[in-house]
Each structure stands twice: as C-alpha cells, then as structure tokens.
Amino acid sequence: MTTLKSIDVKQLKQWLDRGEAILVDVREPSEHAAEHIDIAKLAPLSEVTSDALRNAAGKIVVFHCRSGMRTQTNAAKLAACAAGEAFYLKGGIEAWKAAGLPVQRR
C-alpha cells in the first residue's frame, strides 16, 4: 500500500512561497466554497485524477482535506495521481488556520 508522507504547515508554506509545490484541496466543492486556502486547487476525492494534476509537472504535490484523515485514508489513490513527489498536509486546513494563515470564506 502506498502512503503519503506528512508535512507540516511551516514546510508547506516555504514550498509554496518558493513556487516548488502545488496545493490540492480534496474536499467536496461545498466545503471548498465555504472556506479554502486561496492558492489551493480543488480536486475532490471523487474526481481527482492524474489529468486533474497535469499542471503539477515538476512540482511537489501536497494534498489537504479538513483534518488530514481523508488524505491518509486515500493515500494510495492520491499518490497514484501525482507524477512526482506527493505529501499530505498534517492537520489539513484546520492546521493551516491554527497557524494563523489566511483562508478565503464565503
């Protein structure tokens, strides 16, 4: 079984600031609409494919959900969709908010 390694918010923020990673929100569209990390690309678990991540070539792919559970549970599927390195955000969007980083709200 393939697993995704976890990363923390600090590491993710560094990668995003340097343009080294893309962030993929695997939550449902209604959750994303209610609040989301501005830079995150929506690709719900029910729809995520390697085609959905074709713009990620050469970048680290980091998946996130609300708390990290959905990404861990679906690690094999998500890792298979990423062409290169793939991780999940430990604690999900809740960890992002707890670190004081901004989210867009409806």
How many structural domains is the chain composed of? 1
Which residues are 60's β-sheet partners? 21
Spatial separation of the C-alpha atoms in residues 95 and 8, rounded to whole Å:
8
Beta strands in the chain (DSSP E): 5-7, 21-25, 35-36, 41-42, 60-64, 86-89, 104-105
CATH number (domain holding residue 52): 3.40.250.10
Give 10-residue mean pLDDT values along the chain (106 residues): 85 97 95 96 87 80 95 88 89 98 94
Given this model, what pLDDT does residue 14 score? Answer: 98
pTM above 0.85?
A: yes
Given this model, what pLDDT does residue 2 score? Answer: 60
Q: Which domain holds residue 48?
A: 5-105
Spatial separation of the C-alpha atoms in residues 42 and 98, rounded to whole Å:
21
